[in-house]
Amino acid sequence: MDPVQSAVALTVREALHTLSSSEDGGHLLSTLGALKRYLSGAENPALPGEQEEFARMHFSAVLRCLVGRLSPGWLELLPNGQLEDLWASFFLEGPADQAFLVLMESIEGAAGPSFRLMKMAQLLARFLSAGRMAAVMEGQCRQLTEPAFRLLQETLLIKVVGLPDHLGNRLQRENLEAFLPQNYFPLLGEEIMRVLQAVVDSLRGGWDCSVSFLSQVLGKACVHGRQKEILGVLVPRLTALTQGSCLWQRVCWRLVECVPDRATEALLTGLVEAASGPDVLSRLLGNLVLKSKKAQFVMTRKILFLQYRYSTPMLQSLLGYLAMDSQRRPLLRQALKELLETWGSPSAIRHAPLPQQRYISSALLICLAHLQDAELRDSQDELLASLMAGVKTRLDSSLPAVRRLGMIVAGVASARIHPDGPPLRFQYEEDELSRELLALAAPPPVADSPSEAEASPAAETPDRGSVDSGVPQAQPEGSGSDLDSDDELVPYDMSGDQELKSGKAPAYVRDCVEALTSSEDWERWEAALRALEGLIVRSPAAAREVSVELAKVLLHLEEKTSVVGFEGLRQRALVAVVVTDPAPVLTLAAQELSRPGRLPPQCGSPSPTSQPSSTQAPAWRAVVQERIRSKTRRFSQRSPGRGPDAGPNEFNLVAGYFFFPLIRHFDRPLVTFDLLGEDQLVLGRLVHTLGALMYLAVNTTVAVAMGKALLEFVWTLRFHGDACGGAGPRRGLQGVGGESAPASGEAQRHTRPAVVSLVPAREGPAPLELAWPARGLCQWSMRGPPALSPWTGPPERGPEVLRREGATGAPAG
Amino acid sequence: MAASPLPPPDPQFVLRGTQSAVHALHFFGGAQGQGRPLLLSGSLSGLVHIWSLQTRRAVATLDGHGGKCVTWLQTLPQGHLLLSQGRDLKLRLWDLAEGRNAIVDSVPVESMGFCRSSVLARGPERWMLAMPGGGSDEVQILEMPSKTSVCTLKPEADAKPGMPMCLELWQADSSPRPLLLAGYEDGSVALWDVSERKVCSRVACHPEPVMGFDFDSQKARGVSGSAEKALAVWSLDEQQALQVCRTHELTNPGIADVKIRPDRKILATAGWDHRVRVFHWWTMKPLAVLSFHSATIHSVAFATDGLLAAGSGDQRISIWSLYPIRSDASTPSLGHAEGREVGTQALA
């Protein structure tokens, strides 16, 4: 046996004996002092060989013995906590990995809350705050490929990353701040940075090092879901350090490469999230996507296609990263192709949730922004083909949001993919979504820090332009003494200076009919259309005389001049006619609908039809009303907010007039409609309308018959795949279900049927012909006979309007 | 320039009570230190109302046109003589001094048209009157108060400008020769040298009849409105040649009257579209659109203190106060402007 080994073994054995049995403070002190000589950095240290032998063979045993002796009485054998300091110094100054393992082991081994457990936990906290964790990890970086240490490394890895869990389990409510994950993982990040610094230093010094242990720690922490904490510390520091140093970049790349496959996704998503831009990502990752299959899968498939929770800046970072290097650009092209396919795939459109479709659209536009025209031209035909197929599929969808995405993306993509030809143009109203998406399609700034460099000139240029153009206005032709006084004359607001409409509006409903049918004077025609609703409401008796004729005229009215809000005017007039004279007009409406050729040509078109908008009262009117209310004393006790008094439900009289003809004409095959195929939009509206009517009619005696008919009608639609067709029957059945409510004693709740929102604007374009009779009925059910109560305006303004989904009524089935 | 434009102005007050459409307006009195002026209004029913702008009530009503529309009102700078022209083919002279309101004289008008007359004061007891003549395209010039006909201005046979629609007698600073500007039915404006009885210059300003114009003799620039959708600005050069400087497009067609404010800063137009439009006179920049009336506006008038009156078919007269006249802006009383520099003594 080596003399050094035996000498150390003898000393240690004696010391252990003393430690485990002696109760004499002085003796213990001297024994510990003797042992401490073997630790590096002690006063009058032992020989290096002896130190090494001690560290390799005996240190753990000594520590375990020390842990075993720990008790309040033992520590008080010497005054002033001398013994405790000395005891702790073994853990804090000895080889860190062994000390850490013994600490963790003793903490995990403790039976329950005890003095020793608390002492050990506090010691561990000191161990962490003293930065010993870096020493633990650094030790692992220096030991290159020694198979004996594999097991140790595994154990260490589990303990290092799992420390918050272990401590939390063991200490329960006594847990210390330092062990909470939100504190521990940032600390671990700091420690990793210190180790990386040491690694870089030693690489500069010419010593080999391995970062694989660090990678494993990092990967495991990410798998544990602590990306934010740990990468929040690492990424900003690495961003700064990799800025100018190739060595740091290489260390960083190596660090990411060595992460085990199972942790790649967690780490990469964390990195993409934490990196401030594509250039940073590129510095941190290098060409990782080309080296690692797993990374490639995560970056080009998983983040893009399988998940959609990431923010747009993340997508921009990721796709920008792919675009930054010529080796990676093929991946971007590939991604674009696949994105375009997914974007247009009928299955994806049908089954993917809307946020994901939006996400894919964003990614698609970002890809397009990064790719150059030449790259796009290479695969122009292929891209164009899938784009066109996708546009078609999307525009056929019954969901407005899907169509909208289709229009926005197609407009941009067609211009980019096929720059020579005319781009696809759609009419859609601008909103936040479209602006956001269109902004993504703008080519990304080239500069490294574009925000300051480009924003300022861009902001100044239009200013200068406007000043230039402003000069000729301020200095008109000639000059004279008058110019000095120009600025006195500030113009007033002249926005109200509209063209004067001549006062040709007819004064009687009959005149309107005449004007609408035979007038060649377009001003009169338009004035008649505008005046019609008011006239009908003002003189219902006169309107009743010509109601059917008027309804026919309105139904067949063509928009010959581009009157602003034509559809809305026509619809409001039709609604007014229905309310005034329900029975004959409704019968007429159902007949007209079932006539071949009545399918409105615009119902399948992608551009949203102009919907009637409830005319918003201008702000001044609200102010004036408020003032009138505050200054007016009312003698009536009735509060103005109260609805009309309860009375017998008159809806019963008219409920069936539209419903039965409608359902009768539609449940047989018609030459003009392919309800289960292309015309599913019509089907959706039809079922929705029927359901709404059913719902409105829950308290009427005719409801039972209506319910039966409706159930028969929707039974075939149970398995309809389209969202519109699928949701319709549900609504209808809710109406049927609600019908049983009064019978079960809930009549009080249903004295006035809630008004269903039939406003088609929320549902997307709908055939006008379906919407207006229903809306008329809706008004009827709200306010009773039209002659008795004052006009209250279109129903969508009323407070009683409820969303269909929120209404009562037990779903059948 | 302010970030957001001022809200459209409201009238300062409104005079009601003419009980028929207001066709002529004229401010009377109110020169420096004379208190607020009076407003004269002529109505479709043939009455002339005299309004106090202090009490905002009619102080007197003159009935001298036999129920026929009063189309033109004018006072002479000296004295209290009021001229009113009516569709009863009479031009009445009223004495308004000391609260009187008696017809002192009457001149027969031979034209059935709507043309308003014009006066040029050349001395306290010597003034000149231009009014539409007996022939359809003639203008008659009378020496007043003697009512002697000076001449009849008849366009050359091949000109065919149609009826005169509006007249303006004036006199350049440099020369004592009276000049007449006349707007004609064919949309042209002609400058007549009255003493030589010949047309100095004529320019076609509008495709439609000239309904009203006003002329700024100091800048030798005028503005005219017609039945069409534009205002025309024209000027007179040293050779006394008229030329159109520019036209200004309007939102709605039809201008019944145009007036330049005495300080020559702004001008106002009376629109068939029920609106008064206010422009910067020099730049023709639109300044305001005054929408209050509910019928065609027939007449606008400015007082020396800058008050603007608009008389409309809805039987109301709205009074507006816009862009107050600066106190240091002295108003030269030269040329035709004298005609508007109204009487020195207000009616009691």
Determine the average pLDDT of the residues in B125-133: 89
Residue A510, number of CB atoms within 10 A of its CB: 16
CA angle A388, A393, A397 (to 5 degrees): 145
Three-state DSSP state, A112: coil
Q: What is the pLDDT of residue B113?
A: 86
* Sheet strands (E) in A56-109: none
Q: What is the pLDDT of residue A796?
A: 37
Q: What is the pLDDT of residue B176?
A: 82
Write out pLDDT tens, residues A85-98. 888 888 888 888 88
Check B282 against A492: CB less than 8 A apart.
no
- What distance in Å separates residue A500's CA from the closest CA in chain B? 6
Query: Which residues does residue B16 pair with via DSSP β-bridges, in sequence order?
Result: B316
- Whether B288 maps to a domain, the answer reads yes
Q: What is the pLDDT of residue A742?
A: 37
Q: What is the pLDDT of residue B40?
A: 93
- What distance in Å separates residue A523's CA from the closest CA in chain B? 15
Q: What is the pLDDT of residue B69?
A: 94
Picking from B89, B107, B125, the residue at the C-terminal end of a domain is: B107
Q: What is the pLDDT of residue A343?
A: 87
Token pair recorded at residue A172: 């329960």
Assess whether B269 and B207 both reside in one domain: no
Q: Which one has a higher pLDDT value, A502 or A128? A: A128
Q: What is the pLDDT of residue A773?
A: 60
Q: Phi/psi at B52 (nearest 5 deg)? A: -90, 130
Q: What is the pLDDT of residue B141?
A: 93
- Whether B120 maps to a domain, the answer reads yes
Report the percent of chain B where pLDDT is more than 90. Answer: 56
Q: Which residue of A has its CA nearest to B279?
A: A491
Please say whether the beta carbons of B276 and B282 come within 8 A: no
Assess whether B46 and B142 both reside in one domain: no
- Whether B48 maps to a domain, the answer reads yes
pLDDT band at A764 (very low <50, low <70, confident <90, very high): very low
- Whether B213 maps to a domain, the answer reads yes
Check B287 against A491: CB less than 8 A apart.
yes
Q: What is the pLDDT of residue B312?
A: 94
Query: pTM for this structure?
Result: 0.48
Q: What is the pLDDT of residue B336?
A: 41
Set of chain B residues whose Cβ sits within 8 Å of the Cβ of A480: 282
Test the B interface: residue of A494, A499, A523 with most B CBs within 10 Å: A494
Averaged pLDDT of chain A: 74
Write out pLDDT tens, residues B55-109. 999 999 999 999 999 999 999 887 688 999 999 999 999 988 877 888 999 999 9
CA distances, B75 to each of A429, B4, B30, B58, B345 (Å): 61, 42, 13, 18, 12
Determine the average pLDDT of the residues in A245-264: 89
Q: Which one has a higher pLDDT value, B289 or A377? A: B289
pLDDT at residue A554 greater than cutoff 70: yes
Q: What is the pLDDT of residue B15?
A: 94
Give the integer Cα–Cα distance in Å for A722 and A674.
14
Nearest to A498 among B4, B5, B251 (CB): B251
When divided into structural domains, chain B yields a total of 3
Test the B interface: residue of A483, A484, A489, A523 with most B CBs within 10 Å: A489
**What amino acid is encoded at A779 in this protein?**
Q
Token pair recorded at residue B69: 């529309």
Assess whether B277 and B170 both reside in one domain: no
Task: Please report the ipTM that was assigned to this predicted complex.
Answer: 0.79
pLDDT at residue A605 greater than cutoff 60: no
Cis bond before residue A767 (omega within 30° of 0): no
* Domain coverage including residue B60: 24-107
Confirm or reject contact between A448 and chain B (CB < 8 A): no
Q: What is the pLDDT of residue A469?
A: 36
What are the percentages of helix, strand and coil residues in chain A, rounded to 5? 70, 0, 30
Token pair recorded at residue A514: 């005449």
Confirm or reject contact between A496 and chain B (CB < 8 A): yes
Report the percent of chain A where pLDDT is more than 90. Answer: 3
- Whether B4 maps to a domain, the answer reads no
User: Based on the number of CB atoms within 10 Å of its own CB, is B5 exposed (0-12), middle (13-18) or buried (19 or more)?
Assistant: middle
Q: Which residue of B has its CA nearest to A474?
A: B283
Averaged pLDDT of chain B: 86
CA angle A237, A239, A245 (to 5 degrees): 100
Task: Bin A629: left if φ > 0, else alpha if -120 < ψ < 50, else beta.
Answer: alpha
DSSP B154: -
Check B6 against A476: CB less than 8 A apart.
no
Measured over the CA atoms of residue A237, residue A241, residue A247 and residue A252, the dihedral's sign is: positive
Which of A251-255, A294-298, A634-638, A717-721 has the least mean pLDDT? A634-638
Which of A280-284, A689-693, B197-201 has the least mean pLDDT? A689-693
Picking from B208, B230, B249, the residue at the C-terminal end of a domain is: B249
Q: Which residue of B has its CA nearest to A489?
A: B323
CA distances, B78 to each of B29, B73, B124, B264 (Å): 10, 15, 6, 22
Write out pLDDT tens, residues A169-212. 888 888 888 889 899 999 999 999 999 999 898 888 888 888 88
What are the percentages of helix, strand and coil residues in chain B, rounded to 5? 0, 50, 45
Assess whether B143 and B179 both reside in one domain: yes
Q: Who's near A20: CB < 8 A, 6+ residues apart?
A: A65, A68, A69
Write out pLDDT tens, residues A328-377. 888 888 888 888 888 888 888 888 888 888 898 899 888 888 888 888 88
Give the integer Cα–Cα distance in Å for A204 and A6.
39
Determine the average pLDDT of the residues in A418-438: 81
Determine the average pLDDT of the residues in B30-47: 79
DSSP B116: B
Measured over the CA atoms of residue A465, residue A471, residue A476 and residue A478, the dihedral's sign is: negative
pLDDT band at A460 (very low <50, low <70, confident <90, very high): very low
Assess whether B147 and B262 both reside in one domain: no
Token pair recorded at residue A763: 């549902």
Assess whether B181 and B77 both reside in one domain: no
pLDDT at residue A633 greater than cutoff 70: no
Which of A5-14, A423-432, A527-536, A591-600 has the least mean pLDDT? A591-600
Assess whether B215 and B259 both reside in one domain: no
Determine the average pLDDT of the residues in B235-253: 89
Under an 8 Å CB criterion, which residues of B touch A?
A: 1-2, 4-9, 251-252, 265-266, 273-275, 280-283, 285-289, 291, 323, 326
Closest CA to A196 of A220, A178, A219, A213: A213
Assess whether B122 and B238 both reside in one domain: yes
Q: Which one has a higher pLDDT value, A562 or A276? A: A276
pLDDT band at A805 (very low <50, low <70, confident <90, very high): very low
Q: What is the pLDDT of residue A791?
A: 34
> Tokens 């000069």 appear where?
A471
Determine the average pLDDT of the residues in A268-278: 88
Q: Which residue of B has its CA nearest to A481?
A: B282
CA atoms lying within 13 Å on the CB side of residue A692:
28
Test the A interface: residue of B264, B282, B291, B297 with most A CBs within 10 Å: B282
- Whether B342 maps to a domain, the answer reads no
Picking from B55, B88, B107, the residue at the C-terminal end of a domain is: B107
> Tokens 């934490």 appear where?
A274
Assess whether B174 and B226 both reside in one domain: yes
Q: What is the pLDDT of residue A666?
A: 59
Please say whether the beta carbons of A215 and A223 come within 8 A: no
Q: What is the pLDDT of residue B29?
A: 76
Chain A (452-481) residues lying within 8 Å, Cβ to Cβ, of chain B: 476, 478, 480
Which of A110-114, A268-272, A451-455 has the least mean pLDDT? A451-455
pLDDT band at A540 (very low <50, low <70, confident <90, very high): confident
pLDDT band at B206 (very low <50, low <70, confident <90, very high): very high
Assess whether B198 and B80 both reside in one domain: no
For chain A, give every domain's residue range: 328-444, 509-594, 652-720
Write out pLDDT tens, residues A750-759. 333 333 333 3
Check A482 against B265: CB less than 8 A apart.
yes
Assess whether B122 and B207 both reside in one domain: yes
CATH number at residue B267: 2.40.10.360
pLDDT at residue A145 greater than cutoff 70: no
Assess whether B226 and B303 both reside in one domain: no
Q: Who's near B4: CB < 8 A, 6+ residues apart?
A: A493
Please say whether the beta carbons of B77 and B342 come within 8 A: yes
Check B9 against A485: CB less than 8 A apart.
no
Q: What is the pLDDT of residue A645?
A: 60
Report the percent of chain B where pLDDT is more than 70. Answer: 90
Set of chain A residues whose Cβ sits within 8 Å of the Cβ of B289: 492, 494, 496-497
- What distance in Å separates residue A492's CA from the closest CA in chain B? 5
